[in-house]
Structure 1
Amino acid sequence: MSALPGLVPEEPTVAYDPDTGTVTVHGEGLPAVVLRRTGGRADDHTPVGTRDAARLALTLDGGAAGLTLPKGRLSRRSYRVDVRCDGGAYRLIPDSLATSRLLRDGRRLGSLTCDGDGRVTADWREGAKVLPLDVSLGYALAAGFGTGAQPMWVTAIDIGTDLLSP
């Protein structure tokens, strides 16, 4: 994690349990964020086990937050995760094969990377005013949904190849 002088004294602790579909993020000076799957069978493609917002609960220091997720189809944009909380709008959206960018109210805060194993790294944008909530929420979303996605043209080639294969 790149340094955030004066805002975040230590790297967040991320507890990830794929069996229960739970991600918990906490740390000194950070609000606790919990993302958990609330029911149903887990899918194999999403670390938390689903992209169905009706089967997920997101809490920030015990208070509920609104979560919106498209299904995740061909485009990178379809893998975005939107959260409304504390009067702000957050978005985690893939921007390369491995990373996703975190935005607050449309402003880029930084890039996060997670391979779906619960270990998150962050590269905060120089000059961005990154708040403790931004850190906790970014880590929770990255751990719960993974980061990065293939460009649409690669996905289309993969689908075409699959259709042509015997």
Structure 2
Amino acid sequence: MYVQIDLDGPAGTLRVSGHELPTVELVRGPGDEPDPLIPIGTRAAGRLTLTVDGAPAVLRPARGRILRRSYRVDATVAGTRYRLVPCSYGESRLLRDGRVLGTLESTGDGTVDADWAPGTETGAGTGAETGAAPEPLDRVVGTALAAAFGTGAAPWWDTTLNIAAELIP
């Protein structure tokens, strides 16, 4: 299943689509200068609009601070809850209604690598017992979230040590 990702970070636009797949669009509204560390340019939900096949969806990115979970991104699409949450330095887990769908990796360059839960055509597993086979909608929503916000985060203790090291002359 081929997924096309069109990300223009400076313009604040992302489009994820594919043959027989729903189209996901994420647009950053006008405002402040975009944050170069965030592919879509902001984590402010009020400045972002998410649509799936033209229908509005709810997007709630967390602030992205010290704890890994503060980099999570929640979205609700047609009553289904999605969460992309960091699970290592470079990867994030995608969950649908609390069930693991797979692990995604994106460095913010407009590409996303995915390791989907068992039962898919790739056959690659996440090792999670609570895994669920992803549907086409799951794949495009997860890909869009990973491409827009990047994946992974350092654990709190690593971040704290880095902050402390910066304070020492």
TM-score (ref. length: structure 2): 0.90
1:81 aligns with 2:112: no
Are the aligned partners of 2:106 and 2:150 in contact in 1 as well (CA < 8 Å)?
yes
Corresponding residue for residue 110 of structure 1: 102
SS of 1:133's equivalent? Answer: helix
Q: Which residue of 2 aligns with 1:3?
A: none
Please point out which of 125, 130, 137 is paired with 1:133. 137
Distance in structure 1 (CA, Å) of the matches to 2:116 and 2:93: 10
2:11 counterpart letter in structure 1 = T
Asked if the contact 2:5/2:110 (under 8 Å) is kept, the reply is yes
C-alpha distance in structure 2 between counterparts of 1:113 and 1:70, whole Å: 18
Runs of 4+ in 1 over 6 A off after TM superposition: none
Do structure 1's residue 163 and structure 2's residue 161 form an aligned pair? no
Say which of 96, 112, 127 aligns to 1:120: 112
| Aligned 8 A contact 2:88 2:154 in 1 | yes
How many residues are treated as equivalent by the alignment?
156
Report which structure shows greater RCO (CA 8 Å, sep ≥6).
1
Q: For 1:2-56, what per-residue CA distance to the aligned partner results, in whole angstroms no more than 9, with x for missing partners?
A: xxxxxxxx22000011111111000011100001111222012211000000000
Alignment of 1:1-166 (within 5 A): 10-40=1-31, 41-127=33-119, 128-165=132-169
Amino acid at match of 1:22: T
| One-letter amino acid of the counterpart of residue 166, structure 2 | D
Unaligned 5+ segments in structure 2 are 120-131
Instruction: Measure, in 1, the Cα distance between the counterparts of 2:91 and 2:37.
Output: 16
Is the CA contact (8 Å cut-off) linking 2:116 and 2:133 kept in structure 1?
Answer: no
Give the Cα–Cα distance (whole angstroms) in 2 for the partners of residues 69 and 119 of structure 1. 20
* Identity in percent: 50
Query: 1:7 maps to what in 2?
Result: none
| Residue type of the alignment partner of 1:16 | L
Q: CA RMSD in A?
A: 0.8
Distance (Å, rounded) in 2 between the aligned partners of 1:125 and 1:84? 21
Give the C-alpha shift of residue 129 in structure 1. Answer: 2.3
